[in-house]
Amino acid sequence: MSPNRDVYRIYTAFAVALVAAVALTGCSGTTGTTLDTAPSLPLRETPMASSPNNPPGSSTASDRPTRATAPTSDTVGGSTPLLLDVNGSTISARLDGSAVSDSLVEQLPLTLPVRDFGGQEKVADLPKPLDLDGAPAGSGAEPGLIGYYVPDQRLILYYEQVGYHAGIVPLGTFDDVPAIEGAPDGTTLTLRIDE
């Protein structure tokens, strides 16, 4: 090996060591800023499909628009009391004060055949779509929830818990979950305002 090559290798090794030392010093946080405390940039919303359990842009109860109109005379505290007649039973129910629920009230009384879906809910096809003003992008459901499934234009009465799905809009609640669960396919359900 020639002396020039040895000198070149020593200088190259020294340069690499110097660059590594500078890089490590820069990463050591000598300015007091670490990854945990660095200022963060604002997050940008992404399409709903990016997170099925809690999609960006979906609203919560606190940030959803509220109704500007006063409740009508047949409502109590912003909710509309209903009666559900099914399989010889009359079940008490309530619709919330949303624009979606109000558009259902405008279609009442309704008599619809119901059928079971997935061993967790009874479904009935509505004659007209509901107004989605202020509706969330989706929701989960607990037993006793009255919901609207936007893609199929269906009224849903849940008797089992259902996780979040895009397109579920909560409308209100009903009281007798076992009576709804036990209704056979083809049973007629009548929804009417409790006056």
Q: What is the CATH number of the domain that holds 136?
A: 2.40.100.20
The total domain count for the chain is 1
SS3 content of the chain, % helix, strand, coil (to 5): 20, 30, 45
pLDDT tens per residue across span 88-118: 899 999 999 999 999 999 999 999 999 999 9
**Closest to 104 (Cα-Cα) out of 136, 133, 140, 61:** 133
Q: Containing domain of residue 131, as a range?
A: 80-193
Other Cβ atoms closer than 10 A to 123: 19
CA distance 129 to 121: 19
CA distance 163 to 171: 16
Residue 44 falls within a domain, yes or no?
Answer: no
Other Cβ atoms closer than 10 A to 179: 18
Residue 22 falls within a domain, yes or no?
Answer: no
Residue 127 falls within a domain, yes or no?
Answer: yes
Residue 10 falls within a domain, yes or no?
Answer: no
Side chain identity at residue 82, one-letter code: L
Residue 134 falls within a domain, yes or no?
Answer: yes
Residue 47 falls within a domain, yes or no?
Answer: no
Q: 39 pLDDT exceeds 50?
A: no
Whether the model pTM is above 0.75: no
pLDDT tens per residue across span 127-160: 999 999 999 999 999 999 999 999 999 999 999 9
Residue 150 falls within a domain, yes or no?
Answer: yes
Residue 174 falls within a domain, yes or no?
Answer: yes
Chain centroid, CA 58 distance in Å? 6
Q: How far apart are the first and last CA of the chain?
A: 104
